[in-house]
Amino acid sequence: MNGNETGLGFGNGAGERVLPELTGEEIARYSRHLLLSEVGLIGQRKLKAAKVLVVGTGGLGAPLALYLAAAGVGKIGLVDFDFVETSNLQRQIIHSTKDIDRPKVASAHDRLKGLNPDIEIVTHNVKLSSKNAETIFSKYDLVADGTDNYPTRYLINDICVFQKKPNVYASIFQFEGQATVFGAPDGPCYRCLYPSPPPAGLVPSCGEGGVMGVLPGILGSVQAAEVIKLIVGGAEPLIKRLLIFDAWRMIFNELKIEKDPNCPVCGQNPTITEPIDYEEFCGLGEKKEDAAVPISAIELKKRLEGGDDLQVIDIREPHERTLYAFPGAKVIPFGQLVRRMDEFNPEGDLVFICKIGQRSLFAIRALRRAGYQGRMLNLQDGLAAWAKLIGGPEVPY
């Protein structure tokens, strides 16, 4: 899928999709594309015929969907089950202040329709899963991955390989991002590059580790460019190439990546031929023996004020604690917990805290599997809940 090939079945040849004509208004709207010999009238008609699924309408999905709509992609599907929050607005430019508490797909739908009323926007207000992904993906020509978690990335990858659809991928963290195209017939898939996910909880999400607001705008725009190139054809897409970008140093690098003949999904003898339990694969599936006891912010406050025998363990990284240092907490970053578990008092309760209560949950599971026998509690919804329910001007979350 390079050179003049698109792999998307556009054109007027035998067995190919008949391209729709452009209206007079569309010719005026897309005139700057029509002036490009690499796009031209045929390329714009291919864009009008295309059906693209954008998974995630957050930092990456926002600029990605906006540019696809502006470019005239005829059908854009949006998958997201989240709601717009104030903290999203620093980077998720498809949403606005008036959209706070609305479903993200509803907010994105209205914004895209306002930008280009002639295209079709289909919203899928669901959490993508092994049960619905194949049905949703089957309605589109290619998929753009704007997600921020490993289970969904592996799910998207596998379904795209099964259905022979390109997967235009990007990911971001703090100041760095990467982008490529997975799923081409002669190119690698996500599993070729990342055969297995990192240990659960080791890599913080953007919600925990932070992200420079403009970074997803740059990477999402790269994704949009790759989608347009795949549809129009005749370009050199990011197949077998991983683009790496450092916004803080303003440096672009590129790595060559190859298809793994032993890949369990796209290799010569695949062993994964249908969707699996991706939560379990990524170490997020909860086992009964690993279950953590939740404690609410209100209950924790009562127990602290009552002088109960408990110890608060803050597993956040140093830069996170500069925003808010929980009073009296023992500081042990996530990666040090298992080797320092002899510092805990097994006779008393341990309460683990992080920003949103996810890493602390993984911390408890890791300690339990390492053999720690004491009672461990997880601050439910983390310091974000503490800030909301307990408050105080010194709490930034």
pLDDT at 48: 98
pTM value? 0.80
Q: What pLDDT is attached to residue 24? A: 96
- Read off the pLDDT of residues 111-167 as tens digits, 9 standing for 90 and up: 999 999 999 999 999 999 999 999 999 999 999 999 988 999 999 999 999 999 999
For residue 284, the model assigns a pLDDT of: 63
Query: What is the phi/psi pair of residue 337, to 5°?
Result: -60, -50
Position 7 confidence tier, pLDDT thresholds 50, 70, 90: very low
What domains lie within the chain, and their CATH numbers? 24-281 (3.40.50.720), 288-389 (3.40.250.10)
Helix axes of 61-71 and 215-232: crossing angle, nearest 10 degrees:
40
Residue 303 binned pLDDT confidence (cut-offs 50, 70, 90) = very high
For the cut 70, the answer to whether the pLDDT of residue 209 exceeds it is no
State the DSSP code for 14.
Answer: T
Other CB atoms within a 10 A radius of the CB of residue 308 amount to 12
Known catalytic residues are: 206, 354
pLDDT in tens, 171-189: 998 999 999 999 999 999 9
Mean pLDDT along residues 302-323: 88
With cut-offs at 50, 70 and 90, classify the pLDDT of residue 391: confident
Residue 2 has pLDDT above 50, yes or no: no
With 0-12 / 13-18 / 19 or more C-beta atoms within 10 angstroms meaning exposed / middle / buried, residue 95 is buried
φ/ψ region of 164 (left if φ > 0, alpha if ψ in -120 to 50, else beta) reads left
Segment 330-347, tens digit of pLDDT: 999 888 999 999 999 888
C-beta pairs of 87-90 under 8 Å, 24+ apart in sequence: 87/207, 88/58, 90/213
In this structure, which amino acid lies at residue 86? T
Burial of 198 (0-12, 13-18, 19+ CB in 10 A): exposed
| pLDDT at residue 393 is higher than 60 | no
What does the pLDDT look like over 260-288, one tens digit per residue? Answer: 999 999 999 999 999 888 877 876 655 55
* 137 in Cβ contact with 52 (< 8 Å): no
What sign for the dihedral angle of Cα 37, 73, 265, 182? positive
Interval 239-252 mean pLDDT: 96
